[in-house]
Structure formats: structure tokens, C-alpha cells
Amino acid sequence: MRGLAVRTTNADEADPTRARIPALWQRFRQSSVAAQLAGQPVYGVYTDYATDATGAYTLVVGGALPPDIPSRPELVSVLIPAGQYLVFTGSGDIPAAVLGAWRQVWAYFARADASARAFSTDFEQYDPADPTHVRIHIALSAAAQQALA
């Protein structure tokens, strides 16, 4: 997957004066990348976690660009690894539906009996056939995957 990226933290995103994610999505929507992905799924991939939900991470917004699209300096490549993911869904107006789905994620992982997150690669998936729906995939730790097997 290739797309545009930003490095941020949840603390920065909670403060509208420091939030970088809304500007990233706006830049993506206005980019040639978005045009080249018309009719295809779009992904928001969270990767390069410094620690956990309190640390810095990188968000890459994009999709599976055709291989003949030349690489450009502003494009970042990221691999969504195979593994077990818990999936949370949100429906309605975007971005409110996305925030609602992330609230489900945070509430679930705040529980004492929750599976452990890997903090490796998580992703949002947007289906062009249903623009009011988001699926958030959260990677589970190796220990959590073994416990579920």
C-alpha cells in the first residue's frame, strides 16, 4: 500500500490546534493518489508505534496503487501484515463514524479482560461502495493470538 503520511500522537490529535490527521485526509482527498484510487478501497494505516496508545505513531492514508504509478517523494509504502485483528465498525457521517469506532476500540482495550494489542500495524478500511461505513482492524499481540487459537 502507498499513500501520504504524517507522524503524530493521540495527545496532539485531541488538541485541534496540534491535530495533523484532518489535514492529512484533506491533502489526500485533493491529491492525485485519491484520484488514482477512485472506486477502490482506501486505507488509513497506523504503524511505527513508538510505544503504545500514548506514544507517537505514523498514519499512512492511501491504497493499492497500480504498480505502473511512479514512486514520488511524498508517497510512503507500508505493508499490512497477515495476522489476527479485532474488527470494530462505525457507520454514519465520516469522520464522526470513525471517531465513534475508535471510541469502541479504546473502551474494549480499557477492559481488564481485553486481548492485548500488538501496537504494530492497525488500519481503517473504507469501502467505496459504502462511503458511510468504516472498519477498524486492530492487531493482536502474539500472546493474544495464541490464546484465541
Q: Is the pLDDT of residue 71 over 90?
A: no
Domains of the chain and CATH, by start? 2-148 (3.20.80.10)
pLDDT tens sequence across 108-135: 999 999 999 999 999 999 999 999 999 9
Whole-angstrom Cα distance, residue 115 to residue 20?
29
Confidence of residue 149 (pLDDT cuts 50, 70, 90): low
Whole-angstrom Cα distance, residue 42 to residue 10?
22
Question: What residue spans of 86-134 are helical by DSSP H?
Answer: 96-110
Average pLDDT score over residue span 43-56:
97
**pTM confidence score:** 0.94
